[in-house]
Structure 1
Amino acid sequence: MNIAVIPARGGSKRIKSKNIRAFAGQPLIAYSIQAAKAAGIFDDILVSTDSEEIARVAKAMGATGIIERPAALADDFIGTTPVVQHAIKSHQDIEDSPPDYVCCIYATAPFISASSIVEGYSKLVAAQTMKYAFSVTTFPFPIQRAIRMSGKGVEPVDPGSMASRSQDLEECYHDAGQFYWGTPEAWLGSDGMFAPHSIPVVLPRHMVQDIDTPEDWERAELMYRAYVADTKK
């Protein structure tokens, strides 16, 4: 048994009702639910929320269940892992057996595809000894040549790399913020995700966009219409 857990609390500050706001024609959370359904590998697609409105929209979009998130797990400072842990335990309370694998899918990931979800699952199952698989993408510029600003102007973060050619610097990656596969034991345990026991699923940069501000939202819709609408599978 595999389950998807989509965290979607109602208290978005910078973008009001972000999880269910219309994005390119449908509620933002719909893209995550639809990708999970299209993947064809989930027995349950659960949305963890403290909002009745989000719950209603999620069920209309195809979520198979709603996990009522307590207030203690719905403030601005709660991370993803405690929310997934609560969802796993809540699911186990009504099922005869625990899930084999759990995939956390962010509600704010309109670029997510069923094929990348399946790729992460397949890699994790094949690896056997690994604990997680999650989406990553490359930085668009060598992070070794980053600069920081101060009251005295600017200074390099890594002075030794400033004279290096871009192609001579190690390529680095960051969390793509789309999906996170893990065994229930890993989710419920104390092992962190960003560690050697995790498998990266590399996505192209144009299929990744954080949506935290109104500017991010506008950029994401432009990218979605330009790249994704005709190509996402």
Structure 2
Amino acid sequence: MTVLAVIPARGGSKGVSGKNLAPVGGVPLVARAIRAAQSSGLVDAVAVSTDDHRIAAVAASEGAVVIRRPAELSGDQASSESALLHAWEAFEDSSGEAVEVLVMLQCTSPFITPGEVADCVEAVLTGADSAFTAAPTHGFVWRRDAEGDAVGVNHDKAHRPRRQDREPEFLETGAVYAMTASGFWTHRHRFFGRTVLIETDPARVLEIDEPGDLDRARLLAPLLDGPGEVPGRGDIDAVVLDFDGTQTDDSAQVGSDGNEQVRVHRGDGLGIAALRRAGIPVLILSTEVNPVVGARARKLSVPVIHGVDDKGAALRDWCSTEQIDPARVLYAGNDVNDLGCFEVVGWPVAVASAHPVVRDAARLVTTVPGGHGAVREIASWILGKELA
């Protein structure tokens, strides 16, 4: 039984420009949806329906089938069902496979889990005609009547039971839908026959329709995504660290003589020492010219390159000199001058206090801010129990 997941992803968006390519947790929204489907264990193929060459390129790089959506199905008035039907037919024509279960994922729901996809598919495989994700709610819903007065929709305002005495209602999340292909062909909509709801965590429910939604998603990503696939000892040949804002809290005390003092975290020093004991080279790379950078490097017994304008070029030269594959280098930073280094290495990491643009570009984000043990956290990813 072939299970096809379709992700509708138009290039145009009135609310958020380039929405489907917007990164959350360092990953474009369309790629997040593709990965959730691929990791579910029950989806045989993932197709992205798009009219945009940039989205198509990302989809192809993630291993999805690209379905070129025609102009008549790409406008604001085109329905998701029309895109789903077109993608299904195009997939069958090109692959020769008969699809029996259709899944639709909306990449504007950034926190879809593989388990939610699997549960929706499983419901259809075991007898449901259609299934969708929904979040439980005990909220009291109101509307305005013709006079503009508040009227209770799901409750009598004069006799409201306690929360614990009410059965939950469910809010459709808009994230995942699954259905039999034959039923969809007949009914041409998502809900038909025996419909099952798949309960999801309300904390993960967020649809990106406007810029504020995207901002909230990016703030939530480190909490809801977790640390992600953290690198182990076998993944890393070197660790390169920014200084200000990464090993410090990005503040400084300036004396009357003009000398600066910064605050560092002892745990970071322990983490760096553990990396060195494990035979992993550590480099401090900074644009800062203040002697405090060199003093900290001497304290930690690690080499330092500082006072450079182009950190990306300096890092590339260092990797070449040391004969280290940049793809096996972890670089940790916090500000926009670190983005050049992010483009060089295979493991770009932002500390939790990093600039939003930097967090978005990172492969991983620490759970603690710079200057508060972020470097030790990174060392614990790589070394695990060896750090102790």
Q: TM-score range by the shorter chain?
A: 0.7 to 0.9
**Alignment match, 2:40:** 39
Q: Report the residue type matching 1:185 in the other structure.
A: S
**Alignment match, 1:76:** 76
Question: Tell me, what secondary structure is at the counterpart of 1:135?
Answer: strand
Contact conserved, 1:31 with 1:109, CA < 8 A, in 2?
Answer: no
**Is 1:204 the equivalent of 2:201?**
yes
Q: What is the CA–CA distance in structure 2 between the aligned matches of 1:22 and 1:159, rounded to whole Å? A: 37
Question: Tell me, what secondary structure is at the counterpart of 1:46?
Answer: strand
**Is 1:156 the equivalent of 2:151?**
yes
Contact conserved, 1:35 with 1:114, CA < 8 A, in 2?
Answer: yes
Q: Report the residue type matching 1:141 in the other structure.
A: G
Q: Report the residue type matching 2:182 in the other structure.
A: E
Instruction: Choose between structure 1 and 2 for higher RCO, CA contacts under 8 A separated by at least 6 residues.
Output: 1
Q: Report the residue type matching 1:105 in the other structure.
A: L
Question: Tell me, what secondary structure is at the counterpart of 1:109?
Answer: coil
Q: Report the residue type matching 1:115 in the other structure.
A: G
Contact conserved, 1:23 with 1:221, CA < 8 A, in 2?
Answer: yes
Identical aligned residues as a percent: 28
Structure 1 stretch 177-186 or stretch 90-99: which is displaced more? 90-99
**Alignment match, 1:134:** 132
Q: What is the CA–CA distance in structure 1 between the aligned matches of 2:181 and 2:188, rounded to whole Å? A: 12
Structure 1 stretch 181-190 or stretch 166-175: which is displaced more? 166-175
Q: What is the CA–CA distance in structure 1 between the aligned matches of 2:219 and 2:55, rounded to whole Å? A: 25
1:114-154 CA-to-partner distances (Å, cap 9, x unmatched) read 11111111121112xx31111111236122xx14387x664
- Contiguous gaps of at least 5 residues in structure 1: none
- Contiguous gaps of at least 5 residues in structure 2: 230-388
Q: What is the CA–CA distance in structure 2 between the aligned matches of 1:133 and 1:183, rounded to whole Å? A: 10
What is the deviation of 1:25? 1.0
Q: Report the residue type matching 1:6 in the other structure.
A: I
Q: Provide the TM-score with structure 1 as the length reference.
A: 0.88
Contact conserved, 2:208 with 2:214, CA < 8 A, in 1?
Answer: yes
Larger Rg over CA atoms: 2
Change (3 A) 1:94 1:222: same
- The partner residue of 2:182 within 185, 202, 227 is 185
Q: What is the CA–CA distance in structure 2 between the aligned matches of 1:37 and 1:137, rounded to whole Å? A: 23
Change (3 A) 1:165 1:101: same
Q: What is the CA–CA distance in structure 2 between the aligned matches of 1:93 and 1:87, rounded to whole Å? A: 10
**Is 1:219 the equivalent of 2:216?**
yes
Q: Provide the TM-score with structure 2 as the length reference.
A: 0.54
What is the deviation of 1:196? 5.6
Contact conserved, 2:121 with 2:178, CA < 8 A, in 1?
Answer: yes
Q: Report the residue type matching 1:181 in the other structure.
A: A
User: What value does the CA root-mean-square deviation take over the aligned residues?
Assistant: 2.3
Change (3 A) 1:160 1:52: closer
**Is 1:165 the equivalent of 2:161?**
yes
Contact conserved, 1:8 with 1:49, CA < 8 A, in 2?
Answer: yes
Question: Tell me, what secondary structure is at the counterpart of 2:126?
Answer: helix
Q: Report the residue type matching 1:137 in the other structure.
A: A
**Alignment match, 2:249:** none
The 5 A counterparts of 1:87-98 are: 87-98=87-98
What is the deviation of 1:195? 5.2
**Alignment match, 2:310:** none
Structure 1 stretch 44-53 or stretch 185-194: which is displaced more? 185-194
**Alignment match, 1:106:** 106
Contact conserved, 1:136 with 1:175, CA < 8 A, in 2?
Answer: yes
Structure 1 stretch 4-13 or stretch 166-175: which is displaced more? 166-175
1:67-113 CA-to-partner distances (Å, cap 9, x unmatched) read 11011111111111111111111112123341121111112222111
What is the deviation of 1:231? 8.5
Question: Tell me, what secondary structure is at the counterpart of 2:182?
Answer: helix
**Is 1:30 the equivalent of 2:31?**
yes
Contact conserved, 1:207 with 1:228, CA < 8 A, in 2?
Answer: no
What is the deviation of 1:173? 1.2
Change (3 A) 1:68 1:191: closer
Equivalent pairs, count: 226
Q: What is the CA–CA distance in structure 1 between the aligned matches of 2:218 and 2:162, rounded to whole Å? A: 30
Q: What is the CA–CA distance in structure 2 between the aligned matches of 1:159 and 1:12, rounded to whole Å? A: 33
